Amino acid sequence: MMAGKMLIIGAGLTGLSTAFHLEKMGGIDYSVYEKEKRVGGLCRSEYKPCPGLKGKFTFDILGHLLHLKEEYTIGLVRRLLKENLTTDIPRDSWIYSKGVYTRYPFQANTYGLPPKVVKECVFGFISAKYHSLHCKTRPPEGSFYNWILQNFGEGIAKHFMIPYNQKIWTVHPRDLTCGWIKVNPKYVPSPNIQEVVIGALEDQKKHFGYNVRFDYPRRGGIQKLPDAFEAKIKNLELNTNFSRVNIRKKVAYFDGGKIEEKFRFLVSTVPLPELILEIIEDVPEKVKNAALKLKYTSVLSLNLGIKREEMDHGHWVYFPEKEYLFYRVGFPKKFSDEMCPPGTSSVYVEIAYKPEPITQEKEEKFVARAKKNLVKAGILRTEREILVEHRERIAYAYVIYDRNRDRNLKIIQDYLKEKDIYSVGRYGGWKYSTMEEAILEGKEVAEKLVSEL
Ligand SMILES: Cc1cc2nc3c(=O)[nH]c(=O)nc-3n(C[C@H](O)[C@H](O)[C@H](O)COP(=O)(O)OP(=O)(O)OC[C@H]3O[C@@H](n4cnc5c(N)ncnc54)[C@H](O)[C@@H]3O)c2cc1C
C-alpha cells in the first residue's frame, strides 16, 4: 500500500473515474464519499412506476447522450456497458420557432421559416462574411455577442443565437466571453456560405457540429454508466455529506463531524462556491471574494410519462423564443425503446433560471406553464396525456463565462493547489464540459496523484 490516503468527494463521473483509475493502478489507499443515495451526479436516472402499467419509466434527471470522440473513452465505455449500449445513433434534432420546426443547427437550416426571416438570416450571414473578408485587421477578442455577429450576422443573431443563448445562460451574450466555445469550437457549428444558402433553399439533411452521432445505454438510462464504474471500485460511502475540512491538519469531516478522515490528497468535485464558502475552514478573504463572484445558472428538469406510443419530433428540440419557458425538450424513447412501458412514451423539459432559491409556488407555475407550452408547440395533444411526472432542481447547471471568471478561478485554484486539493469536474473545475471530459479528467487526476506520492 502506497503512503497517504486519497479522498475523493463526489461520485459523479469525474469522482468515479478518478477512483476507477486509482483502483486499476493497484495498491492505492482511497475512499469516495457521495452525499446522495446513488452514484452518478448529473448522470442519475429515476425509475418511476405508473399505476396500471407494466414496467417503469426511466427518467434521466437531465437528458444525457454520449458524444465520445477519444479512442480511450470509446473503448472504456464499451467495455463497461458491454451489450447494454447502442452505438452511433445518428442525431435527429430540431428547432421550433415562428411556429415551424426546422433542422438543427439553425444557422445552416433556415428552410421552412417565413421568407422575411430567411432573407434576414442569409443576407446577414453573407454580409458578416464579406465584412470579415475585407476587414484588414482582425477584430479584437470580444464578447460572445461580438463573436455571434462576426460569425453569423445580424439575422441569425436576432432570430436564434441571442434569444436562445439568453435563455440558457440567463444573461445577454454581450455579458459572456467566448471561453466556453474555445474548449471545443465545434460546440457551435459554423457552416460556410454555400451551406447556409443551400440550407435556406432546401431541406438540407447534412449533419453539422460535434454531436452528430451518439451512444446510449439500451436499458436503464444514463445511470447505467456510473453504475458500471461503481461496480469496479471499492470504499464508496453513499449518503455521506462532506461538510468541513481543516486543511492545516488535513482532516475532512462528514455529516457534521460524525465521520473524520485524514488525507494526503483531496479530490473534490463539489461546486467551487460551496467548497470555498461553506466547507474549507479559514479561507483567506481574497479567495472568498473570488468565489462569491462565480456566476452560474440553475435548471429545473421535468420528465413526463405520456399516454401515447410515439412522439414525432426527433431526439430533441431547441426553443429559442421567449414565449416558451424551456430551452430544450427531448424524447427519450428515441434514444432507446426500453425507456418507457409498452404503449407509452416520454418527454423531458429543461428550464434555466437564475440561481436564486425558487419557492414551491414558483416551481408549480413553471411546471404549469411548461405543460401549456408543450401543447402549444404540438408536442402534447392535451395535458391529459400526462401519466406521471418527475421533477429535479439542478442548482448548478451551466457555469457562466463572464469577464471575471478566468481571473477569479485562477485565484481559487492557485490557493487550492498549495493545499493539496484538486478541485475538478464540471463544477469543481468550474467549466463547460461533457461526460467524456469528466472520464478523461478522472484518469488524468489519478495519474497525477500517483506521480506525486
Ligand atoms: C443540462 C445538462 C445537460 C447535459 N447533457 C450532457 C450530454 O448530453 N452529454 C454529455 O456528455 N454531457 C452532458 N452534460 C454534462 C455532464 O453532465 C457533466 O460534464 C458530468 O456529468 C459532470 O460530472 P462531475 O462528476 O464533474 O459532476 P457531478 O455530476 O455534478 O458530480 C458531483 C458529485 O458530487 C456530489 N457532491 C456534491 N457536494 C457534495 C458534498 N458536500 N459531499 C458529498 N458529495 C457531494 C454530488 O452529489 C455529485 O454526485 C450536461 C450537463 C447539463 C447541466
Query: Which atom of ligand 1 is least distant from the CA of 13?
Result: 25
C-alpha to C-alpha distances, 371 to 56, 79, 324, nearest whole angstrom: 21, 39, 10
d(CA 428, CA 242): 14
Query: Which atom of ligand 1 is least distant from the CA of 65?
Result: 8
Q: In this structure, are residues 143 and 165 in contact, taking their beta carbons and an 8 Å threshold?
A: no
Tell me, using a 6 A CB cutoff, whether residue 225 lines ligand 1: no
From 434, 440, 441, mutation site for ligand 1 pocket: most ligand atoms within 8 A of C-beta? 434
Give yes or no for residue 321 having a pLDDT over 90.
Answer: yes
Tell me, using a 6 A CB cutoff, whether residue 7 lines ligand 1: no
Q: In this structure, are residues 232 and 17 in contact, taking their beta carbons and an 8 Å threshold?
A: no
- 407-428 pLDDT, tens digit per residue, is 999 999 999 999 999 999 999 9
Position 225: which residue type?
L
**Average per-residue pLDDT in the chain?**
94
Give yes or no for residue 137 having a pLDDT over 70.
Answer: no
Report the pLDDT value the prediction gives residue 141, as an integer from 0 to 100: 61
Tell me, using a 6 A CB cutoff, whether residue 226 lines ligand 1: no
Query: Which atom of ligand 1 is least distant from the CA of 398?
Result: 53
- 241-272 pLDDT, tens digit per residue, is 999 999 999 999 999 889 999 999 999 999 99
Mean pLDDT of 293-308: 97
From 38, 42, 437, mutation site for ligand 1 pocket: most ligand atoms within 8 A of C-beta? 42
- 167-189 pLDDT, tens digit per residue, is 999 999 999 998 877 777 677 88
C-alpha to C-alpha distances, 100 to 48, 106, 110, 318, 319, nearest whole angstrom: 33, 12, 10, 12, 11
Tell me, using a 6 A CB cutoff, whether residue 387 lines ligand 1: no
Residue nearest to atom 25 of ligand 1 (CA): 12
Q: What is the CA radius of gyration of the chain?
A: 23
Tell me, using a 6 A CB cutoff, whether residue 427 lines ligand 1: yes
Report the pLDDT value the prediction gives residue 133, as an integer from 0 to 100: 62
Q: In this structure, are residues 260 and 251 in contact, taking their beta carbons and an 8 Å threshold?
A: yes
Q: Cα of 41 to ligand 1 centre, how many Å?
A: 5
d(CA 347, CA 326): 12
Give yes or no for residue 391 having a pLDDT over 90.
Answer: yes
- In what order do the strands lie in the sheet containing 316-318? 100-103, 93-97, 316-318, 328-330, 345-353, 296-306, 386-399
d(CA 147, CA 162): 11
Query: Which atom of ligand 1 is least distant from the CA of 396?
Result: 53
Model confidence at 138, pLDDT cuts 50, 70, 90, reads low
Tell me, using a 6 A CB cutoff, whether residue 350 lines ligand 1: yes
- 49-93 pLDDT, tens digit per residue, is 999 999 999 999 999 999 999 999 999 999 999 999 999 999 999
Q: Cα of 100 to ligand 1 centre, how many Å?
A: 33
Complex ipTM > 0.95: yes
Report the pLDDT value the prediction gives residue 382, as an integer from 0 to 100: 97
Give yes or no for residue 3 having a pLDDT over 90.
Answer: no
Beta bridge pairs of residue 7? 31, 266
For each of the domains in the chain, give its residue range(s) and CATH number, in order of start. Answer: 6-44+223-294+404-452 (3.50.50.60), 93-210 (no CATH), 296-399 (3.90.660.20)
Tell me, using a 6 A CB cutoff, whether residue 297 lines ligand 1: no
155-179: burial string, b at 16+ Cβ within 10 Å, e else:
bbbbbbbbbbbbbbbbbebebbbbb
Q: Is 87 or 147 the better-scoring residue by pLDDT?
A: 87
Give yes or no for residue 135 having a pLDDT over 70.
Answer: no
Tell me, using a 6 A CB cutoff, whether residue 425 lines ligand 1: yes
Tell me, using a 6 A CB cutoff, whether residue 119 lines ligand 1: no
Q: Which three cell numbers stand for residue 341?
A: 412501458
Q: Cα of 403 to ligand 1 centre, how many Å?
A: 24
Report the pLDDT value the prediction gives residue 2, as an integer from 0 to 100: 53
